[in-house]
Amino acid sequence: MKKRKKERDDKSKPSVMLAWTFNPLRTNLRHVLMIIFLGSFFCAAVYWNFKDLFLCILSMVIFICSLNSMFFPTGYILEQDEIIIK
C-alpha cells in the first residue's frame, strides 16, 4: 500500500486568525435588569394564572432558552476561509 501525500500543507496557513467571546449581559446593566424584571414578572403571572409550579418553572426555562444569546456568551472564531459561531 502506498501512502498518499497530503494535497496541501496545513502548516503553511494559520488555522485561527482571530477569536473572541462576547457576552451581552456584561455590556449593558439596564438591559440586564429589564430582562430579569420582565422575566420574573412573566413567570409570576404564569403562576398567578395557573397556580402550578411546574408551569412556572417551564415558562422560566422557555424564557431563558429563547434569549440564550443574551444570557450565555457567544464565541466567534475567524479563520481564513470561514467564520465559526459557537
Give the tens place of pLDDT for each residue, 5-49: 444 555 555 567 888 999 888 888 898 889 989 999 999 999 999
- Say how far residue 47 (Cα) sits from the centre of its chain: 27
Contact 35, 43 (CB under 8 A): no
Contact 85, 76 (CB under 8 A): yes
Ramachandran class of 36: left when φ > 0, alpha when ψ lies in -120 to 50, beta otherwise: alpha
pTM for this predicted structure: 0.63
φ/ψ of residue 32, rounded to 5: -60, -50
- Say how far residue 73 (Cα) sits from the centre of its chain: 5
